A and B are shown apart, each in its own frame.
Chain A
Amino acid sequence: MPTVTINQKSLTVPEGTTIIQAAEQLNIEIPRYCYHPGLSIAGSCRMCLVEIEKMPKLQPACNTRVTDGMVVTTQSPKVKEAVSGVLEFLLINHPLDCPVCDQAGECYLQEYYMKFGLHDSRMNENKIKRHKAEVIGPHVILDTERCVLCSRCVRFVREVSRSHEIGIFNRGGQSEIRLLPDQVLDNNYSGNVVDICPVGALTDRDFRFQCRVWYLSKADSVCNGCSRGCNITVEANRQRAHHGEGRRVMRLKPRFNKEVNRWWICDIGRYGYKFIDDPSRLIQPLEKQGDELEPLDWSTAAERAVGRIREAKQRGGAGSIVIVASPQLTNEDLFVTRKFFGVDLGIDQIDFRIPDKNTLSDDDFLLRADRNPNTRGAEAILLDGGGFDLQRIIESASTQSFGLLYLCEQDLVKKLGSEPARRFLGQFDYVIYQGSNENETSGLANLVLPAATYAEVNGTFTNFEGRVQRIHAGIEPLGDSLPAWRVICKLAQTAGFDYGYESAAEVFVELAQTVTEFEGLSYEKIGSEGMKLPETQPVPA
């Protein structure tokens, strides 16, 4: 393995490592526009030029491989002059419209100008005018005047999405990013080109002009859009909510995880966060009075729920109660659900599997047909007793009547269709709905308990491969809504079971001690990259 010295620091790296990769390991910053670790090497922007001992000319660090004994400097006057010169060329035709540019604050022209440029413009000629603010697809807008022609987006559509919409047209000073005549950038991964664009050339139509990036708070989380469990950052406007008409979550960004999603997420996941701040959010407990749902306070609601559960149990036994959990809930939520209903109340009719009439499919990349983040966790936590089959009750269309249904975070009307959903709900004397958003199903319930969304809670999801990954609350639960596990704790307390959990972390400790598949796991071990359940079988698609 070759040993390289960069700025007097030595490092031994595997054969084939490039200088830019070695420098990254040494925490030495080498500026770059075209280089992206997820794409092929273009070597075209010339920002990463470095000086190598015994080489007469500067070399690009992105496509020069380390050899044994190589001595590199990124600090010599020769390098500084070259990098500053490259930047000056890139800025020649730049419109300098930072005050109205959405990229400002996370723009590598700004960043590198402050670090490596700081020169005055020597450009006396007129700047070349180009296409500005062109809508090129459902999610992306293109400003060719700001483009530095790094070709990251071109390589992305060639190599990652393989959709081939973008190319560099024309030559020399006239070169610019274009699409085929009459074509749009419309594939399920289009949002990624905005992430990888180092400048303000490609911006996100959804996020554009909604919030300056320096007002955003960031929380590490996991996408709830499918069972892949892509790692994301939930970016919220916490201080200036009055600017977004109550919209707190401003965007989701992919977070690198080598084993799950690398640098990417799909558009379905990326733009699937709107429900979090939607007016349909349930923000207080509701009880059906006639045809209307009337607000309640939490303690009354908990008493009502527990009273109804006790009544149903006394009248028809535990067999007259059905608990429908949800693969949208965290492992912690599901564990507390099982503990209260299953262990302490002795209800064994617990399931989470609702047949879905909407046929969804995998794409051949990240998106999975199962659009739930925690199916694997729900199986591990709820089904290890086995036996109860909810699907049979739903599909048999029997007239058997039950006492009470406790339904979590599942829109039965949407999944089963209106008529079958109403028939199923009609089999129960009393229906409690626990969920984050109002929907047709919640409207049919007798009691509604407001739950927080995944962006508002700490916990873990288990993806289809059995990888347990942590999510962190990026914002507070809206209104009086509570994390699902806290809702259940409230009911348990009312019923006389005090679990005493202070946090999701405490729930997880007990979960790992109780559920065999989670044995030995802890938040520390899971870390930011997740950890696979030991000895686990992947769920078939």
Chain B
Amino acid sequence: MISDRLLAEFDSIVRNYPVRRSALIPILLTTQEHLGYLSDESIAAIARYLNLPAIDVYEVVTFYSMLRRHPVGKHHIQVCTNISCLLLGGEEIFERVSKRLGIKEGETTSDGQFSLAEVECLGACCNAPAMQVNYTYYNDLTAEKVDQILQALQKPEER
């Protein structure tokens, strides 16, 4: 379940830390990047790899909201609704995305392409309202801009 390639990455991460268990969060992030989310199986494998009780890994995974225990869409859209974005229409942006894709907070489209999450501050207050699709930031959003972004993301699959 954990590929040899991923395991090799674990090995190189662990070398960065004097204490083996310190590598836990980077390893969780790497695993999530490769597999999309952290399954019970992955968590058990990581716990074994780091000689940690599985419960310790669950505590960390459930503590951090950016660590996911369920799969998300290919494009994971995270719309900020914290103060600066809220004041400049963040909630409307969220609603726009939600309506266009036909999904609510925490849901994924049936084709597995998009998922939607409402998030706290993305650190982009100077260009609010903002959203993040996977690791790409989109700033100074307007309804039109949102439509264009979504359309561009949808395109390749339509072809």
Shortest CB-to-CB span from B96 to chain A, Å, is: 28
Residue of A nearest to B54 (CB): A180
Find out whether the CB atom of A181 lies under 8 angstroms from the CB atom of B40: yes
Give chain A residues whose Cβ lies under 8 Å from the Cβ of B56: 164, 167
Q: How many residue pairs at the A-B interface have CB separations less than 8 Å?
A: 29
CA gap between A165 and B58 in the complex, in Å: 11
> A239 near B: Cβ within 8 Å?
no
> B144 near A: Cβ within 8 Å?
no
Of the candidates B40, B58, B64, B65, the one whose C-beta lies within 8 Å of that of A167 is B58
> A170 near B: Cβ within 8 Å?
yes
Main secondary structure of the interface of B (DSSP, over half): helix
> B59 near A: Cβ within 8 Å?
yes
0 or 1 for each of A300-326: is its CB under 8 Å from B? (1 = yes) = 000000000000000000000000000
Give chain B residues whose Cβ lies under 8 Å from the Cβ of A180: 54-55, 58
Name the residue in A165, A166, A180 with the highest tally of chain B Cβ atoms < 10 Å from its Cβ. A180
> A168 near B: Cβ within 8 Å?
yes
Name the residue in A165, A166, A167 with the highest tally of chain B Cβ atoms < 10 Å from its Cβ. A167
Find out whether the CB atom of B55 lies under 8 angstroms from the CB atom of A170: no
Find out whether the CB atom of B59 lies under 8 angstroms from the CB atom of A164: no
Give chain B residues whose Cβ lies under 8 Å from the Cβ of A181: 40
Give chain A residues whose Cβ lies under 8 Å from the Cβ of B54: 164, 180
0 or 1 for each of B48-69: is its CB under 8 Å from A? (1 = yes) = 0000011110110011110000
Find out whether the CB atom of A170 lies under 8 angstroms from the CB atom of B58: no
Interface size class, chain B:
10 to 19
Interface size on A, residues (CB 8 A): 13
Give chain B residues whose Cβ lies under 8 Å from the Cβ of A166: 55
Find out whether the CB atom of A171 lies under 8 angstroms from the CB atom of B63: yes
Find out whether the CB atom of A167 lies under 8 angstroms from the CB atom of B55: yes
> A169 near B: Cβ within 8 Å?
yes
Find out whether the CB atom of B40 lies under 8 angstroms from the CB atom of A165: no
Find out whether the CB atom of B53 lies under 8 angstroms from the CB atom of A168: no
Find out whether the CB atom of A170 lies under 8 angstroms from the CB atom of B63: yes
Find out whether the CB atom of B53 lies under 8 angstroms from the CB atom of A169: no
Find out whether the CB atom of B40 lies under 8 angstroms from the CB atom of A168: no
Interface residues of B in 42-94 (CB under 8 A from A): 53-56, 58-59, 62-65
Of the candidates B55, B59, B63, B64, the one whose C-beta lies within 8 Å of that of A165 is B55
CA gap between A165 and B63 in the complex, in Å: 17
Give chain A residues whose Cβ lies under 8 Å from the Cβ of B62: 169-171, 178
0 or 1 for each of A126-169: is its CB under 8 Å from B? (1 = yes) = 00000000000000000000000000000000100000111111
CA gap between A170 and B40 in the complex, in Å: 16
CA gap between A166 and B40 in the complex, in Å: 16
Residue of B nearest to A168 (CB): B59
Give chain A residues whose Cβ lies under 8 Å from the Cβ of B58: 167, 169, 178, 180
Residue of A nearest to B52 (CB): A164
Shortest CB-to-CB span from A131 to chain B, Å, is: 14
Interface residues of A in 163-189 (CB under 8 A from B): 164-171, 178-181
CA gap between A168 and B59 in the complex, in Å: 6
CA gap between A168 and B62 in the complex, in Å: 9
CA gap between A170 and B67 in the complex, in Å: 11
Give chain B residues whose Cβ lies under 8 Å from the Cβ of A168: 59
Shortest CB-to-CB span from B88 to chain A, Å, is: 26
Find out whether the CB atom of A164 lies under 8 angstroms from the CB atom of B55: yes
Residue of A nearest to B55 (CB): A167
Give chain B residues whose Cβ lies under 8 Å from the Cβ of A170: 62-63
Interface residues of A in 471-496 (CB under 8 A from B): none
CA gap between A170 and B64 in the complex, in Å: 8
Shortest CB-to-CB span from B60 to chain A, Å, is: 10
CA gap between A436 and B62 in the complex, in Å: 52
Give chain B residues whose Cβ lies under 8 Å from the Cβ of A179: 55
Shortest CB-to-CB span from A172 to chain B, Å, is: 9
| Sampled A-B contacts (27; CB under 8 Å) | A164-B53, A164-B54, A164-B55, A164-B56, A165-B55, A166-B55, A167-B55, A167-B56, A167-B58, A168-B59, A169-B58, A169-B59, A169-B62, A169-B63, A170-B62, A170-B63, A171-B62, A171-B63, A171-B64, A171-B65, A178-B58, A178-B62, A179-B55, A180-B54, A180-B55, A180-B58, A181-B40
Interface residues of A (CB under 8 A from B): 158, 164-171, 178-181
